[in-house]
């Protein structure tokens, strides 16, 4: 090919000197014959380029040109509009205007969750929470809108993860707006316009008094840490409206830490904590109730006319039941102490196990309710059932032990009298949640209205059911609970500033029974009930002399000074 070009230039040179150039002298190819020195171009034989070669080369160039033309036509005609839109978007950026989430306040207007403006580089407001203990499980927390690596939001909404933030997410969320931003080739903003304004989420006023709730958390926390309980919870409810005044669970987490998500070490600590700080013990915690169930057994026995409330039953510290197959063998069921002769009111006050063995399962000449009626009456007060009320409906159901339950969980074993005895004092397979316990004791206080609890202030009163038991029977049980405070097991609550009807409970755990749950439940003021309460401290030593009643006393002493209006 090289010699072809040389031939071409040689002919041109001769033409300059006057020589004639023939076409066949230009358009020729060459190759060397064998046995000649190719470096000296010896034996060179010239031959013209073939017509086929010229045609093929031309065809290739034509096909390439046709391909480019087709592609240009495709981009300009068929996809021209799409690329025009893409081009416009390169300089017109659509960005969300994030709606302000609704503000959450307590019943007194104190802000519990609100929005703080973002920095210049952050167009999302920061969700902030009141820095006070005991509010985390009620409020919950949120997850923020999230960007991808290119800076585009692939999730444009706040998402409630727990508590009120989760349950009322739709109301709190609001609606995002849209802003159009025009930029130049360098990415600098030239102009911006709001196409659609954002709409703020709905503000919510909770029924809780954050002052009382925080103090309730503190007394539960301090008592637990002082004497070795692993956790605890407490709840206070209006006995007429069902509004929750305080509801707290220990331990808890920091909502700000969970929302921001950048403190990995702290979050890891929460995840590894065996005390389960993410568990809302008021709603989702299940505990053996122990003696706090005795007032409901007393009501059932009265309504079934099994016993006169004045009848006294002797407690020597235990009862013995002969084995039905071998009378020489006896099973002993112990009381926590020998109480002597006690009637119903005093049996509630001193929490006599023997008395409730007798009216629950029967003993000697005293006929008992039997497990079927125990189950029926306990369910009247909402135990063993899910609460059908907003915010509480996903809570734990609990368990009432029955023969059917035992067959399922104990490989088909039959129900025995001893099982009825243990069930009569709130042991065996019983499990209840604190919110179930507080609505049940509220029904004792208001004489038969089982209320649906509410976390929102001024929610219309909702009655789940009316318990058809004579008021006179309720009064007998109420008197026994008042005696419990003045001379029985709840004397820690015998305070001068308000009369409190109460019932304590110590539920034994495990085979060794070395650990217990400590309960206190009741209502105040006694003569004109307004509020029911329940506090439980979980898994502490049975040798503790300080428990739920002492923690609750600390709360009431504080309330007498700081919120005395609740005792009037």
Summarize pLDDT for 163-175 with one digit per residue, the tens.
Answer: 999 999 999 998 8
Q: What is the CATH number of the domain that holds 414?
A: 3.40.710.10
3-class secondary structure per residue, 15-35: HHCCCCCCHHHHCEEEEECCC
Spatial CA neighbour of 113 closest among 97, 134, 133, 135: 135
Q: State yes or no: pLDDT of 34 exceeds 90.
A: no
Q: Same structural domain for residues 421 and 481?
A: yes
Question: How many structural domains comprise the chain?
Answer: 3
What gap in Å lies between CA 481 and CA 294, rounded to an integer?
A: 10
The mean pLDDT value for 199-215 works out to 96
Q: Same structural domain for residues 78 and 119?
A: no
Residue scoring higher pLDDT (476 or 158)? 476
Confidence of residue 27 (pLDDT cuts 50, 70, 90): very low
3-state class of 66 per DSSP?
helix
Q: State yes or no: pLDDT of 284 exceeds 70.
A: yes
What gap in Å lies between CA 402 and CA 390, rounded to an integer?
A: 29
Q: How many helices (H) and strands (E) does the chain have?
A: 20, 24
What gap in Å lies between CA 218 and CA 211, rounded to an integer?
A: 11
pLDDT at 26: 47
Q: Same structural domain for residues 245 and 192?
A: no
Residue 565 is given by DSSP the state: G
Q: Same structural domain for residues 130 and 15?
A: no
**pLDDT digits over 124-153, tens only?**
788 999 999 999 999 999 988 877 666 666
* Phi/psi of residue 102, nearest 5 degrees: -60, 145
pLDDT at 8: 47
Q: Same structural domain for residues 347 and 425?
A: yes
What gap in Å lies between CA 526 and CA 154, rounded to an integer?
A: 57
Furthest-apart CA pair in the chain: how many Å? 150
Contact (CB, 8 A) for 361 and 420: yes
Contact (CB, 8 A) for 332 and 388: no
Q: State yes or no: pLDDT of 255 exceeds 90.
A: yes
pLDDT at 20: 58
**pLDDT digits over 495-531, tens only?**
999 999 999 999 888 777 788 999 999 999 999 999 9
Sign of the dihedral defined by the CA atoms of residues 480, 520, 549, 538, in that order: positive
DSSP string, 254-314: -HHHHHH---HHHHHHHHH-TT-TT--HHHH--B--GGGGHHHHHHHHHHTT-S-TT--EE
Domain termination site, one of 47, 67, 88: 88
Domain termination site, one of 155, 177, 205: 205
Contact (CB, 8 A) for 26 and 8: yes
* Phi/psi of residue 201, nearest 5 degrees: -70, 165
Confidence of residue 6 (pLDDT cuts 50, 70, 90): low
Q: Same structural domain for residues 432 and 493?
A: yes
Spatial CA neighbour of 505 closest among 421, 419, 556, 432: 432
pLDDT at 29: 47
**Residue-averaged pLDDT of the chain:** 87
Q: Same structural domain for residues 255 and 295?
A: yes
What residues make up the domain containing 408? 210-567
Residue scoring higher pLDDT (269 or 155)? 269
Confidence of residue 307 (pLDDT cuts 50, 70, 90): very high
Contacts of 243 by beta carbon, 8 Å cutoff, 6+ apart = 107, 207, 237, 453, 454, 457, 459
CA 294 to the chain's CA centroid: 32
pLDDT at 126: 87
Domain termination site, one of 151, 171, 205: 205
3-state class of 345 per DSSP?
helix
Q: State yes or no: pLDDT of 43 exceeds 80.
A: no
Q: Same structural domain for residues 152 and 272?
A: no
What gap in Å lies between CA 419 and CA 368, rounded to an integer?
A: 13
Q: Same structural domain for residues 423 and 330?
A: yes
Contacts of 32 by beta carbon, 8 Å cutoff, 6+ apart = 38, 41, 42, 43, 44, 45
What is the pTM for the complete model shown?
A: 0.81
Q: State yes or no: pLDDT of 15 exceeds 60.
A: no
Q: Same structural domain for residues 63 and 81?
A: yes
DSSP string, 163-199: HHHHHTHHHHH-B-EEEEEEE-TT--EEEEEEEE--B
Q: Same structural domain for residues 201 and 241?
A: no
Q: How many CA atoms lie within 13 A of 489 on its CB side?
A: 30
Q: Same structural domain for residues 132 and 230?
A: no
Spatial CA neighbour of 164 closest among 212, 101, 218: 101
Contact (CB, 8 A) for 259 and 128: no
Contacts of 89 by beta carbon, 8 Å cutoff, 6+ apart = none
């Amino acid at each position: 090919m090289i010699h072809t070009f040389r031939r071409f230039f040689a002919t041109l040179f001769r033409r300059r000197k006057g020589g004639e150039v023939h076409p066949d002298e230009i358009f020729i190819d060459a190759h060397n014959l064998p046995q000649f020195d190719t470096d000296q171009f010896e034996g060179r034989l010239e031959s013209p380029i073939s017509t086929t070669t010229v045609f093929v080369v031309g065809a290739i160039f034509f096909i390439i040109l046709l391909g480019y033309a087709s592609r240009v036509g495709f981009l300009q005609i068929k996809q021209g509009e799409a690329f025009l839109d893409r081009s416009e978007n390169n300089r017109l950026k659509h960005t969300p205007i994030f709606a302000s989430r609704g503000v959450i306040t307590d019943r007194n207007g104190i802000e519990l969750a609100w929005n703080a403006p973002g920095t210049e580089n952050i167009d999302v407001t920061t969700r902030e929470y009141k820095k006070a203990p005991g509010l985390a499980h009620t409020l919950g927390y949120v997850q923020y809108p999230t960007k991808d690596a290119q800076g585009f939001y692939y999730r444009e909404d706040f998402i409630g993860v727990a508590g009120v933030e989760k349950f009322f997410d739709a109301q709190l969320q609001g609606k995002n707006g849209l802003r159009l931003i025009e930029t130049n080739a360098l990415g600098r903003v030239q102009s911006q316009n709001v196409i659609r304004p954002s709409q703020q989420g709905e503000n919510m006023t909770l029924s809780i008094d954050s002052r009382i709730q925080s103090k309730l958390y503190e007394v539960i926390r301090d008592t637990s840490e002082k004497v070795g309980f692993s956790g605890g919870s407490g709840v206070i409810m209006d006995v007429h409206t069902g509004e929750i005044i305080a509801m707290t669970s220990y331990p808890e987490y920091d909502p700000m830490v969970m929302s921001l998500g950048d403190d990995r070490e702290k979050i890891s600590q929460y995840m590894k904590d065996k005390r389960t700080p993410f568990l809302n013990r008021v709603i989702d915690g299940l505990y053996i109730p122990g003696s706090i169930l005795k007032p409901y057994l007393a009501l059932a026995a009265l309504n079934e006319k099994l016993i006169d409330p004045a009848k006294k039953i002797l407690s020597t510290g235990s009862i013995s039941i002969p084995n039905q197959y071998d009378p020489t063998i006896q099973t002993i069921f112990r009381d926590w102490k020998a109480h002597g002769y006690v009637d119903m009111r005093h049996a509630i006050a001193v929490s006599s196990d023997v008395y409730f063995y007798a009216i629950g399962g029967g003993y000697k000449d005293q006929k008992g309710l039997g497990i079927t009626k125990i189950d029926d009456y306990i369910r009247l007060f909402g135990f063993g059932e899910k609460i059908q009320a907003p915010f509480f409906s996903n809570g734990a159901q609990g368990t009432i032990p029955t023969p059917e339950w035992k067959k399922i969980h104990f490989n088909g074993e039959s129900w025995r009298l001893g099982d009825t005895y243990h069930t009569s004092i709130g042991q065996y397979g019983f499990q209840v949640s604190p919110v179930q316990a507080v609505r049940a004791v509220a029904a004792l206080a208001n004489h038969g209205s089982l209320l649906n609890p509410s976390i929102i202030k001024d929610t219309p009163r909702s009655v789940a059911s009316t318990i058809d038991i004579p008021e006179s029977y309720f009064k007998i049980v109420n008197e026994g609970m008042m005696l419990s405070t003045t001379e029985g097991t709840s004397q820690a609550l015998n305070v001068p500033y308000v009369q409190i009807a109460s019932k304590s409970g110590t539920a034994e755990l495990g085979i060794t029974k070395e650990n217990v749950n400590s309960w206190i439940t009741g209502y105040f003021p006694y003569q004109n009930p307004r509020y029911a309460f329940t506090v439980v401290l979980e898994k502490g030593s049975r040798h503790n002399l300080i428990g739920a009643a002492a923690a609750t006393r600390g709360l009431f002493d504080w309330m007498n000074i700081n919120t005395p209006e609740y005792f009037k």
